[in-house]
Structure 1
């Protein structure tokens, strides 16, 4: 067990998201009206977030969650953040020092996030007016349901839903297959 400063926990989360290439996905989403941070009082237009906190760092949009889900790393992410108390919607009540048993292990998934961002960009060109918020929420909901279901036949239903929802993510799936192939060697 390790005692970690609240700000260090936030830094670890931000570093993880940077290693995963989350900014590539965010840029496409924001450009298409799907900013997760829209309406937050800590966000300054053209500048960015002025008060990063544990809950905002721990929260993943459906697209980022999808990358970790496909990589088999979502549980690791959730386990890390489950150790951190005081997370509220856009609020942070986390104590200054937190005991952490499970560290956050960084994984370079830039290529996967870049590929997914390219797929999202392609979707926005082909389907003018696509609702990025609705799409990411569908993905998020189905991935969350897998975790909640105790019966495998119900889990399979949500996994099939994810396959259907993400059928246009061709570049991501190619990058994922390549990543998995390299991981086996």
Structure 2
């Protein structure tokens, strides 16, 4: 088995389930994970939460003021907040993201015990140049929502509620009625994401045309 980056594997393997096993270093997992999230446009969403005091890294001993994270790990790279779970779900890559990181052992809270070399046979989600616009659209909605509410930190409360509901959706199994109820609940919770929904409709329409 040869060692290569996940990005290289994407170029040589059309299907994440292609049965092609590669060996990756722990550092490659972290670097490529951060790169994939960036290409998916998630950093725009994260920047909104950070600007309103809701960084998911808040209180972490590895966080240096003005420098950022001083000890990146597989656990924090794989972890998604409520907004990011919802975002990846809507753009159709949440299952791929979750499945990829389920292969990676040694994840813990704000640290990892991941071996220096790991065999994987599922790829990270493929990214698209249009993902940047989707991330920007959701970020714009979140800023607008926060600014329009009297309660300080409204979007942070929304993030936690969305996180809980997304977890329920992700673990509802084959219970179709429960899935539909949760999807309706999420739709109501995200009704004010107008710019995002508009961009998402356009993204989905273009994706259908390109098939």
- SS of equivalent residue, structure 1 residue 94: coil
Q: How does 1:1-185 map to 2 (within 5 A)?
A: 1-108=21-128, 109-128=131-150, 129-150=152-173, 151-185=175-209
CA contact under 8 A between 2:134 and 2:199: conserved in structure 1? yes
Name the structure, 1 or 2, with higher relative contact order (CA <8 Å, separation 6+). 1
Shift of 1:105: 3.2
What does the per-residue CA deviation read over 1:54-100, in whole Å, with 9 as the maximum and x for residues that have no partner?
Answer: 00000011111111101121000000000000000101100001110
Distance in 2 (alpha carbons) for counterparts of 1:33 and 1:130: 8
* Distance in 2 of aligned mates of 1:17 and 1:4: 18
TM-score by length of 2: 0.85
**SS of 1:154's equivalent?**
helix
- Name the CA distance, whole Å, in 2 between partners of 1:69 and 1:105: 12
Query: What is the root-mean-square deviation in Å for CA atoms of aligned residues?
Result: 1.0
Shift of 1:22: 1.5
- Counterparts of 2:153 and 2:79 in 1: how far apart (Å)? 23
Deviation at 1:158, TM superposition (A): 1.0
- 2:17 aligns with none
Could you tell me which runs of 5 or more consecutive residues in structure 1 were left unpaired when the two chains were aligned.
Answer: none
SS at match of 2:188: helix
Kept after mapping to 1: 8 A contact 2:93/2:125: no
For structure 2, the 5+ residue unaligned runs are 1-20
- Kept in 2, the 8 Å contact 1:123–1:130? The answer is no
Secondary structure of the structure 1 residue equivalent to 2:48: helix
Partner of 2:123, secondary structure, is coil
Please say if residues 13 and 58 of structure 1, whose CA atoms lie closer than 8 Å, have aligned partners that are also in contact: yes
Which entry has the higher C-alpha Rg, 1 or 2?
2
8 Å CA contact 1:33, 1:132 repeated in 2: no
